Amino acid sequence: MVPFRRSKRRAHVIMRFGALGLLLAGCTPQILPVTECTTNVECRDVMGYGSACDLDSGLCRTVDMHPRCDATYPEDLTFPVKRDENYLIASLFGRSDAHIARYRGAELAVKHANQNQGVDGHDFGIIHCNYDVDASIDDLDSTGAVEEISTWLSDDVGIPAIIGPAASSLTGAVYNKVAEEYDTLVVSPSATATTLIDIDGTVSTDAEPGLFWRTAPPDGGQAIAIVADMRNEYDPLGETVFRTGPTSALAILYQEGAYGEGLAFAVGDLLNAAGGDASLFIFSTDTLGAQVAAVANSGDGPFDEVLVISSDASDYNGFLAAANANAAFATLPIFMSDGGRTSDIFPAVGALGPNIRGSVPALPEGIVFDGFDASYAVEYGESSNLHSFVPHTYDAASLVIYAHAWAVYNEEGTRGVHLARGFRKLSTGPDIAISAPAITEVIAQFRQGNSIDIEGTSGLLDYNLTTGELPSTIEVWSIAGTGTGQTFEQEYIFVE
Residue 216 in this model has a pLDDT that exceeds 70: yes
| Spatial distance between the Cα atoms of 69 and 12, rounded to a whole number of angstroms | 29
CATH architecture assigned to 220-360: 3-Layer(aba) Sandwich (3.40)
The domain 8-27+64-216+389-460 having CATH identifier 3.40.50.2300: the answer here is yes
**Helix-helix angle 220-230:258-273, to 10 degrees:** 40
Least confident of 31-45, 90-104, 324-338: 31-45
| Spatial distance between the Cα atoms of 266 and 260, rounded to a whole number of angstroms | 10
Tens digits of per-residue pLDDT, 174-205? 999 999 999 999 999 999 998 899 999 989 99
Residue 15 in this model has a pLDDT that exceeds 90: no
Residue 340 in this model has a pLDDT that exceeds 90: yes
Residue 3 in this model has a pLDDT that exceeds 60: no
| Spatial distance between the Cα atoms of 50 and 159, rounded to a whole number of angstroms | 9
Q: Residues for the chain: how many in total?
A: 496
Residue 234 in this model has a pLDDT that exceeds 90: no
Tens digits of per-residue pLDDT, 285-297? 899 999 999 999 9
Asked if residue 140 lies in contact with residue 148, where contact means CB atoms within 8 angstroms, the answer is: yes
Start-to-end Cα distance in the chain: 51
| Spatial distance between the Cα atoms of 478 and 356, rounded to a whole number of angstroms | 6
| Spatial distance between the Cα atoms of 376 and 370, rounded to a whole number of angstroms | 10
Cis peptide before 80 (omega within 30 of 0): yes
Asked if residue 131 lies in contact with residue 93, where contact means CB atoms within 8 angstroms, the answer is: yes
pTM for the structure as a whole: 0.82
Q: What is the DSSP string of 101-130?
A: HHHHHHHHHHHHHHHTTTBTTBEEEEEEEE
pLDDT for position 7: 34
Mean pLDDT of the residues in the chain: 89
Average pLDDT over residues 441-469: 95
Q: What is the DSSP string of 8-24?
A: HHHHHHHHHHGGG--BS
Considering only residues 205 and 21, tell me which one the structure prediction assigns the higher pLDDT.
205
Please list, in sequence order, all residues whose beta carbon lies within 8 angstroms of the beta carbon of residue 152, skipping any fewer than 6 positions away: 63, 66
3-state secondary structure of 379: helix
Domain with CATH 3.40.50.2300 in the chain: 8-27+64-216+389-460, 220-360
At residue 320, φ and ψ (nearest 5 deg) are: -65, -40
Average pLDDT over residues 391-406: 98
Buried (b) or exposed (e) across 379-416, using 16+ Cβ within 10 A?
ebeeebbbbbbbbbbbbbbbbbbbbbbbbbbbbeebbb
Residue 496 in this model has a pLDDT that exceeds 80: no
Residue 299 in this model has a pLDDT that exceeds 70: yes
pLDDT band at 13; cut points 50, 70, 90: very low
Cis peptide before 218 (omega within 30 of 0): no
Beta pairing partners, 187: 163, 213
Tell which residue, 364, 354, 356, 359, has the closest CA to residue 319: 356
Tell which residue, 249, 157, 175, 246, has the closest CA to residue 211: 175
Average pLDDT over residues 313-319: 94
CA 53 to chain CA centroid, Å, is 31
Average pLDDT over residues 453-457: 96
Average pLDDT over residues 44-59: 92
Tens digits of per-residue pLDDT, 139-159? 999 999 999 999 999 999 999
Tens digits of per-residue pLDDT, 241-280? 676 678 999 999 999 988 999 999 999 999 999 999 999 9
Asked if residue 349 lies in contact with residue 483, where contact means CB atoms within 8 angstroms, the answer is: no
Tell which residue, 160, 161, 211, 170, has the closest CA to residue 190: 170
Average pLDDT over residues 333-351: 94
Tell which residue, 6, 147, 158, has the closest CA to residue 89: 158
| Spatial distance between the Cα atoms of 265 and 280, rounded to a whole number of angstroms | 9
At residue 262, φ and ψ (nearest 5 deg) are: -60, -45
